[in-house]
Amino acid sequence: MSAENTSIDHLLTENRRFAPSAEFAADAVAGAELYEKAETDREGFWADQSRELLHWSTPFTQVLDWSNPPFAKWFADGALNVAYNCLDRHVEAGNGDRVALLWEGEPGDERRLTYAELTDEVKRLANVLADLGVGQGDRVAIYLPMIPEAVASMLAVARLGAVHSVVFGGFSADSLRARIDDAGAKLVITADGGWRKGKVSPLKPAVDQALAARNGLGEQETVEHVLVVKRGENEVDWFEGRDLWYHDVVPQASAEHEAQAFEAENPLFILYTSGTTGKPKGILHTSGGYLTQAAFTHRNVFDLHPETDVYWCTADIGWITGHSYVVYGPLANGATQVLYEGTPDHPEPGRWWDVIQKYGVTIFYTAPTAIRGFMKQGRQIPQARDLSSLRVLGSVGEPINPEAWVWYREVIGAGKTPVVDTWWQTETGAIMVSALPGVTETKPGSAQVPLPGISIDVVTDDGRPVGNDAGGLLVITEPWPSMLRGIWGDPERFKETYWDKFADQGYYFAGDGARLDEDGDIWLLGRVDDVMNVSGHRLSTAEIESALVAHEATAEAAVVGASDETTGQAVVAFVCIKENYLRAHSTEGLVDQLRLWVGEQIGAIARPRDVYIVSELPKTRSGKIMRRLLRDVAEGREVGDTQTLADTMVMSVISDQVAKK
């Protein structure tokens, strides 16, 4: 059977069902009783999970405090140390020799760190950070490639009760600066560079730029030190007094460091994500509730058997998936995992499958965009490797189309592994909707059911449940342990963005459209706001528009997310150029310049796939840009209703201009 053959895709879609094998179910960590327990006593269920999965230095007696919604507190009178939970306690339990990280660099170099070794590294680093003045509540920015030091840095910051803000290495100096400023970071941990697609991609120069006076901003004022890991061996500038080499200070530091317990609501990290406005939001997560749900979901959704499994999540630590399912969930559970530095297709397209074969990966978690990319290359590439160790496959980041889901199961999972499609967000902190691999009969294309202890519904615009076989908006109807505690420095925006829409019902509005099928299973339909999802990464139309408008040639710009076969959505920009520029430059030259410019302003991921130079943008009489119509053009559809446009001719002009390109 060939799932690549789209003609049979229709036959494979909604009607296919895959029940867990009796063998898998018999050995599964999670059984159906979890749903019953959570149903009977939701808070009691989470309290039990938390006590079972974590070590509390001061046990909690309160579970949820929802007296001041939407500001939740979970396990508020308890105290714990997050890093102790991810490291020391495994060593103390006699598992110090278990491998924590099986690291593979892109050039093929390797490092293995046991739990004892990683604990040691984190203790030394914690001592160094403390000496540099980092203490409880201080913010530390982390801008690193996927190397063991990245994991160690997050844990060392957590160990001190400080707050990390990881910035994806693909973000530009400007994006980094905005994040460092917003959080008021005291220290930056970076590397000279990291390996990407066979080359060293420099990082330290971006940090130098971010901290310098530039673009109308003065010199950055809160950062006192920059700690630099040597990885790329690329030349870097050095600022005596500010910059320190990691290898000069960490190995020499003491490996004695006793973890102090912090209250459950002590902030753990800020992670910036795009919203509907130009300014990224600093999503704030705290300690006890976050770690509880990260550990619970990692264990149950992936059926983790820490003694025998080799787990691999391909996400970068710069995204929430890297936080919850590379760092906190797996390490809290004492898992052995692969950490890989590079891209999927370097030096050749089978690299990921080589990694799976080499390390005997049993649980694999990746994004639909990667799966669709592999489908395009053809099944012979994975089939030339031994992938028989795999037993659970996960998907995250965007809806996975049934065709890709089935290909994943058939080709990567040998037609036998459960596939779990996990829906969640930066804001939810951990997985919210997913099958349980030993319990649920899976359905390609549907994320299916809320996890035990999670309450989700699909409602109309005014908050009424749509019921089965209908579509609407996805809402979370009860607080959950790993929920965001706010937007850094902006409580009003937190309320406005997530809680105002369904204030009467007290629901959290996720920003996703969804449908319940006749069985009540959830199908995610994509964002309902001006947020795009490109390769599972969230991008804001407004943010890219403001970058485009900041270019001196641009008069006006509109950005839409157009569906794309591989990346889910792609960034498509419509730009009006100032007359004098239009006369002086070629269209191709301007298009190239603008694409590069967006890359510099935000990062390469935000670079538009297409830039169309147009003479006008479609607007309503009140001046609102009608992006819906531009999306029609970008996706090659017939343009929808243009009656509300101030000038109804505009769209035919734009269609002509796009067609000519």
Cβ nearer to ligand WT7, comparing 193 with 453: 453
Helical segments of 65-147, H only: 82-86, 88-90, 115-131
Query: Near ligand WT7 by CB under 6 A, which window of 207-215, 285-293, 397-405, 638-646?
Result: 397-405
Tokens, residue 555? 């008069």
Tokens, residue 305? 């058997």
Query: Near ligand WT7 by CB under 6 A, which window of 3-11, 206-214, 390-398, 577-585?
Result: 390-398
423 binds ligand WT7 (CB under 6 A): yes
Tokens, residue 44? 């009691």
Is the CB of residue 646 less than 8 Å from the CB of residue 603? Answer: no
In terms of phi and psi (left: phi > 0; alpha: psi -120 to 50; beta: otherwise), the region of 532 is: beta
282 binds ligand WT7 (CB under 6 A): no
421 binds ligand WT7 (CB under 6 A): yes
Cβ nearer to ligand WT7, comparing 119 with 321: 321
Q: Give the one residue of 76, 125, 152, 396 binding ligand WT7; rule: CB under 6 A.
A: 396
Sign of the four-CA dihedral 93, 96, 97, 101 = positive
Q: List binding-site positions.
A: 196-199, 321, 397-399, 421-426, 512, 527, 535, 538, 549, 551
The closest of 421, 459, 188, 180 to 301, measured between CA atoms, is: 421
Instruction: Report in angstroms the alpha-carbon separations of 186 from 211, 261, 285, 565.
Output: 12, 22, 19, 42
Cβ nearer to ligand WT7, comparing 168 with 612: 168
426 binds ligand WT7 (CB under 6 A): yes
Cβ nearer to ligand WT7, comparing 299 with 537: 537
3-state secondary structure of 276: coil
Query: Near ligand WT7 by CB under 6 A, which window of 58-66, 327-335, 381-389, 507-515?
Result: 507-515
Q: List binding-site positions for ATP.
A: 397-399, 421-426, 512, 527, 538
450 binds ligand WT7 (CB under 6 A): no
Cβ nearer to ligand WT7, comparing 362 with 426: 426
Min CB(523)–ligand WT7 separation in Å: 9
Min CB(531)–ligand WT7 separation in Å: 7
Tokens, residue 25? 């179910």
418 binds ligand WT7 (CB under 6 A): no
Rounded distance, CA 488 to CA 578, Å?
A: 37
Is the CB of residue 158 less than 8 Å from the CB of residue 85? Answer: no
448 binds ligand WT7 (CB under 6 A): no
Min CB(513)–ligand WT7 separation in Å: 9
End-to-end, the C-alpha distance of the chain in Å comes to 40
511 binds ligand WT7 (CB under 6 A): yes
Is the CB of residue 482 less than 8 Å from the CB of residue 293? Answer: yes
631 binds ligand WT7 (CB under 6 A): no
Q: Give the one residue of 114, 314, 333, 422 binding ligand WT7; rule: CB under 6 A.
A: 422
Q: List binding-site positions for Mg(2+).
A: 549, 551
Min CB(291)–ligand WT7 separation in Å: 17
**Helix, strand, coil shares of the chain as percentages rounded to 5?**
35, 25, 40
Query: Near ligand WT7 by CB under 6 A, which window of 108-116, 333-341, 394-402, 599-607?
Result: 394-402
Number of residues forming the site for ligand WT7 (CB under 6 A): 22
Cβ nearer to ligand WT7, comparing 126 with 371: 371
Tokens, residue 277? 């406005």
**For residue 604, what is the DSSP state?**
G
Helical segments of 302-426, H only: 320-322, 329-332, 351-359, 368-377, 380-383, 402-407
**For residue 576, what is the DSSP state?**
E
Q: List binding-site positions for CoA.
A: 196-199, 321, 535
139 binds ligand WT7 (CB under 6 A): no
276 binds ligand WT7 (CB under 6 A): no
120 binds ligand WT7 (CB under 6 A): no
Query: Near ligand WT7 by CB under 6 A, which window of 17-25, 251-259, 330-338, 417-425?
Result: 417-425
Query: Near ligand WT7 by CB under 6 A, which window of 225-233, 349-357, 532-540, 575-583?
Result: 532-540
Task: Name residues contacting ligand WT7, limited to 320-339 (CB under 6 A).
Answer: 320-321
CA angle 342, 101, 229 (to 5 degrees): 60
Rounded distance, CA 396 to CA 557, Å?
A: 31
424 binds ligand WT7 (CB under 6 A): yes
Is the CB of residue 165 less than 8 Å from the CB of residue 280? Answer: no
Helical segments of 433-568, H only: 491-498, 541-549
Q: Give the one residue of 57, 234, 383, 425 binding ligand WT7; rule: CB under 6 A.
A: 425
Q: Strand 419-422: give its sheet, edge to edge.
A: 110-114, 99-104, 336-340, 310-313, 363-366, 392-396, 419-422
536 binds ligand WT7 (CB under 6 A): yes
Sign of the four-CA dihedral 483, 489, 494, 495 = positive
Query: Near ligand WT7 by CB under 6 A, which window of 38-46, 424-432, 479-487, 592-600?
Result: 424-432
Tokens, residue 468? 């089965």
399 binds ligand WT7 (CB under 6 A): yes
569 binds ligand WT7 (CB under 6 A): no
- CA 584 remoteness from chain centre: 42
538 binds ligand WT7 (CB under 6 A): yes
Is the CB of residue 213 less than 8 Å from the CB of residue 219? Answer: yes
Query: Near ligand WT7 by CB under 6 A, which window of 256-264, 396-404, 408-416, 455-463?
Result: 396-404
Rounded distance, CA 619 to CA 515, Å?
A: 31
Rounded distance, CA 352 to CA 50, Å?
A: 34
267 forms beta bridges with 286
**DSSP calls for 522-542:** EEEEEESSSEEEETTEEEEHH
Cβ nearer to ligand WT7, comparing 398 with 545: 398
483 binds ligand WT7 (CB under 6 A): no
Rounded distance, CA 515 to CA 447, Å?
A: 11
Cβ nearer to ligand WT7, comparing 326 with 510: 510
Cβ nearer to ligand WT7, comparing 244 with 522: 522
527 binds ligand WT7 (CB under 6 A): yes
Min CB(378)–ligand WT7 separation in Å: 25
Q: Give the one residue of 104, 120, 243, 398 binding ligand WT7; rule: CB under 6 A.
A: 398
Cβ nearer to ligand WT7, comparing 271 with 614: 271
Min CB(126)–ligand WT7 separation in Å: 28
- Secondary structure, 3-state, 102-115: EEECCCCCEEEEEH
Residues that bind ligand WT7 in the complex, under the rule CB under 6 A: 273, 320-321, 396-399, 421-426, 447, 510-512, 524, 527, 533, 536, 538
